[in-house]
Structure 1
Amino acid sequence: MRFFEVLMLNIISYNTAWPQEFATIAQQLRAALGNLALRIDHIGSTSVPGLAAKDIIDVQVTVQDFTHTAQLIDILSSLGYTWIERITGDHVPPNYQGAETDWQKIVFRHPTTQRPTNLHVRAQGRPNQRYPILFRDYLRAHPVASAAYAQIKQALSQRHPDDVDFYYDIKDPLCDIVIEAAYDWAHTTNWQPGPSDG
């Protein structure tokens, strides 16, 4: 399912302020969510140094499972986040053999007083929880792959700036190609997620 709102398909050069902007958001989330959040991670293109991206900070909150969803929604709502009810899961890679619930998530729109942010809540140990952290770390370790990924995103945004569906029709399978290489890299290097970012 497509993500909720893209301000515009405007890919800009990497901004060195992005990590600190994430840290400010994560600090507020950590204070509010406490132990309900097992991890708070900076994900997406703004989390990869040097990578061009949309000027939207992607945040992943990892929870144990979705049994405390009502509490989570209440806490985030009190901070000004809006639950996007129509989004219930991530893009499922081709030929995936597991349960569709492996890609379940909860998504929130940022508070109106906060810089543009996508807040994704995913459950510990599910493929879609590991995917963005591994994807990020792989691109951080492979600058050529990161630069090529940026070139494709920039070309898509320039040629079809008003066609969000077209952008994701190309970007989703591109990410699936990158993550396959990332899985091999993770196996070879015995990669494990590092400490939570927030």
Structure 2
Amino acid sequence: MPLPHDIVKFHEPPVPEGQSPYVPGAGPSLQLEIAEWNDAWPGQFQLLAQKIEEALGWRALVIEHVGSTSVPDLPAKPIIDIDLIVADPNDEAAYVPALERAGFELRVREPWWFGHRVLRYSEPACHLHVFGYDSPEVIKHRIFRDWLRTNTDDRVLYADTKREAAALSRAAGEHSMQYNARKEIVIKKIYRRAFIATGLLKD
């Protein structure tokens, strides 16, 4: 179980020299369209979660709907973000082939960042984020989701930030990582308020 100081820290390790987080043929997305909340998104998550469970069985330790599509009334890129916890994300043979047979495609490999992998599913569109059980990232994602679900002011602030960042990035011809960077300051401010409220951080 991660310690509180690991949960509140933003782990941003650099990409090791000579390596890329993207598997051959993959790269950051240019899809920066923000859609208004769609009440079909929770059902799409349930469909995808069932596919993951059928593919992995007990190897899927936790399957969580995270990201903006998990927060009612929040606009989002229409891509379902899912956190999947497995025993060892670096042991790709234990889960990647089974997920590929279910229609998922490995796109990102970041062993230097808690073993993070990303697999993509096309319809409904999904980014499946794979971490180990000891990763603080999955706890952070749940805190952020639950905070936005119940705190209207921060949900509105984040919605406005997302729309502005997407518009600026589209105008500049940027990709998804640059769009994410435009949101970073506001995201960290929201996280700080959530961490203080949960007792993980002192005011």
TM norm structure 1? 0.79
SS in 2 for 1:60: strand
Q: SS in structure 2 opposite 1:144?
A: helix
Unpaired segments ≥5 residues, structure 1: 90-99, 189-198
Q: Secondary structure at the match of 1:84?
A: strand
Alpha carbons of 1:65 and 1:185: their partners in 2 closer, same or farther (altered >3 Å)? farther
Aligned-pair CA distance for 1:59: 0.9
**1:90-127, Cα deviation, whole Å (9 max, x unpaired):** xxxxxxxxxx64x43111121x4x22110100111321
Counterpart CA distance in 1 for 2:87 and 2:197 is 26
List aligned pairs for 1:159-174, cutoff 5 A: 159-161=168-170, 162-164=173-175, 165-174=177-186
Partners of 1:170 and 1:67 in 2: CA distance? 30
Equivalent residue runs for 1:44-193 within 5 Å: 44-66=67-89, 68-85=91-108, 87-88=109-110, 101=113, 103-110=114-121, 112=122, 114-161=123-170, 162-164=173-175, 165-187=177-199
- The structure 1 residue matched to 2:47, chosen from 8, 15, 24, is 24
The Cα of 1:66 is off from its aligned counterpart by: 2.9
- Measure, in 1, the Cα distance between the counterparts of 2:53 and 2:34: 29
Mapped partners of 2:49, 2:78: distance in 1: 17
Aligned partners of 1:138 and 1:185 also within 8 Å:
no
| 1:52 CA displacement | 0.5
* CA spacing shift, 1:68–1:160, aligned 2, 3 Å: closer
Q: Number of residues paired by the alignment?
A: 174
Name the amino acid aligned to 1:182: A
Note the aligned Cα RMSD (angstroms): 2.1
The aligned amino acid for 2:193 is A
Question: Cα–Cα, structure 1 residues 67 and 159, in superposed 2: closer, same or farther, change >3 Å?
Answer: closer
**TM-score when scaled to structure 2?**
0.77
SS in 1 for 2:95: helix
Distance 1:175 1:104 in 2: 23
Question: Per-residue deviation at 1:185?
Answer: 1.8
Partners of 2:34 and 2:163 within 8 A in 1: yes
Identity of aligned residues (%): 29
Structure 2 gaps of 5+ residues are 1-14, 16-20
Which residue of the partner structure matches residue 95 of structure 1?
none
Q: 1:27 to 1:7 in 2, by over 3 A?
A: farther
- The residue aligned with 1:193 is none
1:126-180 residue CA offsets vs partner (Å, 9 max, x unmatched)? 2112111111011111111011101011011122213124312222343222222
Is the deviation greater in 73-82 or in 5-14?
5-14
Report the CA distance between 1:28 and its aligned residue. Answer: 1.2
CA distance in 2, matches of 1:80, 1:167: 27
Q: 1:127 to 1:173 in 2, by over 3 A?
A: farther
How big is the shift at 1:5?
4.0
Q: CA deviation at 1:182?
A: 1.5
